[in-house]
Amino acid sequence: MTYPKDLAELIEEFQEVDDKMERLEMVFDMADEVVPYPPEQWNNDSKVQGCQSEAHVHVEIDDGKVLLFSGADAKLVQGLMGILTIAINGSAPAQALLLSADFAEEMGILNSLSPSRSNGFRNMFDKVMKEIREFV
């Protein structure tokens, strides 16, 4: 699919790195890109189910644009949240909904995006999209 420009550039950057550990390190670094959702606000509604780590997301629409707040105790998960933030924050909800979860696979970060009990990213992505859909 066609990704938003910032995300497309990120995907390209990741694809240029052969070493998976280095790619993981790059994801860890993206953890700072999230709009923080502080642990004291984490609740059952914000919790991403089926995630090995404690991961929470909260979506608001501000001035017609998506605003994703997120946080996780695992760096990989929060890094992926950071990438998702870059991809959708500031977009119109309808635009954000066009994004597919495949980018994590294309970046060579996750081995599989098939729904499974350990696929926290997939569950997180689906939860964010579901919340955005409620605003459309």
Distances in Å between the Cα of 99 and the Cα atoms of 22, 65, 87, 91, 94 are 25, 15, 8, 11, 10
**Site mask for another protein (CB under 8 A), range 92-111, x = bound:** -------------------x
Q: Which is nearer to another protein, 28 or 135 (CB)?
A: 28
DSSP state for residue 57 in the 8-state scheme: E
The distance of closest approach from Cβ of residue 104 to another protein in the complex, given in angstroms and rounded to an integer, is 12
The binder of another protein chosen from 15, 41, 52, 112 (CB under 8 A): 52
The distance of closest approach from Cβ of residue 68 to another protein in the complex, given in angstroms and rounded to an integer, is 21
The binder of another protein chosen from 75, 91, 92, 106 (CB under 8 A): 75
Candidates 9-17, 40-48, 70-78, 83-91 — which segment interacts with another protein by CB under 8 A? Answer: 70-78
Interface residues for another protein in 5-34 (CB under 8 A)?
18-21, 23-25, 28
DSSP state for residue 31 in the 8-state scheme: G
Q: Are 31 and 75 in contact (CB under 8 A)?
A: yes
Q: Give the three-state DSSP class for 37.
A: coil
Q: How far apart are CA 112 and CA 22, in angstroms?
A: 19
